[in-house]
Amino acid sequence: MAVIDLANPTRFLNLVNRVLPWLTAATVLLFAFGLARAMNAPDDYQQGATVKIMFLHVPAAWLGMMGWGVMSAAALGTLVWRHPLADVAGKAAAPIGAAFTFICLVTGSLWGRPTWGTYWVWDARLTSMLVLFLLYLGVMALYWTAEDPGRGSRAAAILSLVGAVNLPIIKFSVDWWNTLHQPASVFRMGGSTIDPSILTPLLIMAVAFTLLFFTLHLAAMRNEILRRRVRSMRLMQAQELAEAGA
């Protein structure tokens, strides 16, 4: 099957139905393994056991940003090629990305209190992440409340592309501004500054969270395709009733 064939919603649904059980099983197994490694990871020499929050906070932050990346790529598909499956992908990614961004903000706040002595500061990293969360809410509002789904999708796609400007701001905020948040410590020039005993469980958890994201995204895309079928069938039913009554 050529990749382009998957752009057909019916073929895409067949593929999702085949792939989803395997993806779900892989996600559960990797989470079990990752959590076991995370719980047995040693305490940090400065932060103590609170470093265990990192195993949730960091993957959630990455996926919050990746979710917006997925939406931006989908927005191109919607605006340039007007492909319905791209629109489905963008709409399905929004609540999932928002949820991961929310997890990042809450766990970061809970990590900040014992580490920094405060739940929140208006520094560049925290504020740009909060902006990302608000952008997610804006896109969801456009998708879910527009009276004309087509216009809502185009508006959401434009906001997705405009909002992508925030991604490099989040990433480089710790370098561009003087922030309370620590600079990059995993993906940086010169290698990670984290000890392998903590880095390994972190990367396993990151892969587990990524699998969770794609499992939920595929399932949400399947739901959205079915929702659009329901809508089109209801419209046809209404049209038939109107013609019968005329």
Q: Which residues are at the interface with another protein (CB under 8 A)? A: 39-40, 43, 48-50, 52-53, 56-57, 60, 95-96, 99, 102-103, 106-107, 110-111, 113-114, 212, 216, 219-220, 222-223, 226-227, 229-230, 232-234, 236-237
* Residue placing its CB nearer to another protein in the complex, 107 or 166: 107
- Residue 208: which region, alpha, beta or left (left: phi > 0; alpha: psi -120 to 50)? alpha
CB of 228 to another protein, least distance (A): 10
* Residue placing its CB nearer to another protein in the complex, 80 or 235: 235
- From the number of C-beta atoms within 10 Å of its C-beta (0-12, 13-18, 19+), residue 127 rates as middle
Residue 179 DSSP one-character state = -
Residue 21 DSSP one-character state = H
Q: Which residues pair with 44 in a beta bridge?
A: 48
* Residue placing its CB nearer to another protein in the complex, 165 or 243: 243
CB of 53 to another protein, least distance (A): 5
The dihedral of CA 131, 119, 191, 27: what is its sign?
negative
Q: Which residues of 213-238 are buried (b: 16+ CB within 10 A; e: fewer)?
A: bbbbbbbbbbebbeebeeeeeeeeee
Distances (CA, A) of 125 to 40, 60, 131: 29, 14, 10
CB of 186 to another protein, least distance (A): 19
CB of 84 to another protein, least distance (A): 13
CB of 166 to another protein, least distance (A): 21
* Residue placing its CB nearer to another protein in the complex, 13 or 167: 13
* Residue placing its CB nearer to another protein in the complex, 45 or 178: 45
**Do residues 121 and 70 make contact, with C-beta atoms less than 8 angstroms apart?**
no
